Amino acid sequence: MNLILLGPPGAGKGTQAKMLIKKFGIPQISTGDILRSAVKEQSPMGKKAKDFMDAGALVPDDVVVGIVEERISDSDCSGGYILDGFPRTVAQADSLSKTLRRNGSGIDHVLALSVNQEELLARITGRRTCKNCGAGYHLLYDPPKQSGICSECGGELYQRDDDREETMRRRLEVYEEQTSPLISYYGERALLRTIDGMGEMDQIHSALIEIIESSQG
C-alpha cells in the first residue's frame, strides 16, 4: 500500500506517518528528513539543498525526485511506503506517477491534513528537535521531561532554522503557491481524502485508519 500524506508544514504529517508505520509496518519516506541528514553530513546533495531549506524555499525538483526514486526501490519499500513531504509540486507528482506506472504500481491514497494557519504557526514555532536522535518535541503540547534535553537519549534540543517564525511564514506561502495545487490534482484523480487535522493526534490517526481500511475492502 502506497500512501501520500499531504498538508502544510506543521499539519502533523510526520507524527501521523510514525503512527501509521506502527499500524501497517511500512516505512515512512520523509524527503525533509533525508535532506536534513544530507545537510548534516555535508554531502554534495546536502550542500546543494542547504540554502533553499534555510530560506524556506523548495529544493529543486530533480534533487528530491532522485531521492524518492532511489528510496522507493529499496527492499523495505516492496510492501508499500508512506510519502511524507513529497510530492510538493505538480512536477514532482507527475514524475512520481510516471515512475510508479513504469514499475506497474501506483498510489493508493492521498491523505490531506487540513489545519488553519494560526494553529500551524503555533505548532511550528514551538517545535524542538533532538540534535542527536532527531526525536521531536513541542514546548507546549509535548514538552521533554527536562527542558532543552531529549527524554529519549539525553541529546540537546534545538529549534530548526526553518521553524523560526519568519521562515515559517515563507514556507506557508510556498505551500500555498506550489503545493496546494496538488489538492485538486489528486482530487481529479479520485485519490484524495481530506482529514481535519485540528483534533487530537489519536483521533486523527483513527480517522486515517478508517479511510485506509474501508477502502481496502
Interface residue with ligand AMP, options 7, 8, 9, 12 (CB under 6 A): 9
C-alpha cell at position 21: 508505520
Q: Which of 88, 109, 123, 205 binds ligand AMP (CB under 6 A)?
A: 88
Q: Is 71 in the site for ligand AMP (CB under 6 A)?
A: no
Contact between 116 and 39 under an 8 Å Cβ cutoff? The reply is no
Do β-strands 127-130 and 81-84 pair in parallel, antiparallel, or remain unpaired?
Answer: unpaired
What's the CA gap between 98 and 61, in Å, rounded?
Answer: 14
CB of 170 to ligand AMP, least distance (A): 9
Nearer to ligand AMP, 65 or 150 (CB): 65
Task: Give the containing element (helix H, strand E) for 28.
Answer: strand 28-30
| Minimum CB distance to ligand AMP smaller for 24 or for 52 | 52
Q: Which stretch binds ligand AMP (CB under 6 A): 20-28, 85-93, 184-192, 198-206?
A: 85-93
Contacting residue, 6, 107, 127, 162, with ligand AMP by CB under 6 A = 162
Which of these, 66, 22, 71, lies nearest to 45 by C-alpha position? 66
The DSSP code sequence of 177-217 is IIITHHHHHHHHTT-EEEEETTS-HHHHHHHHHHHHHHTT-
- Identified binder of ligand AMP from the candidate list 71, 128, 171, 205, rule CB under 6 A: 171
86: contact with ligand AMP by CB under 6 A? yes
Does 83 bind ligand AMP (CB under 6 A)? Our answer is no
Q: Round to whole Å and give the CA distance between 154 and 115.
A: 32
**17 touches ligand AMP by CB under 6 A:** no
The residues binding ligand AMP (CB under 6 A) are 9, 31-32, 35, 52-53, 56-59, 64, 85-88, 92, 162, 171
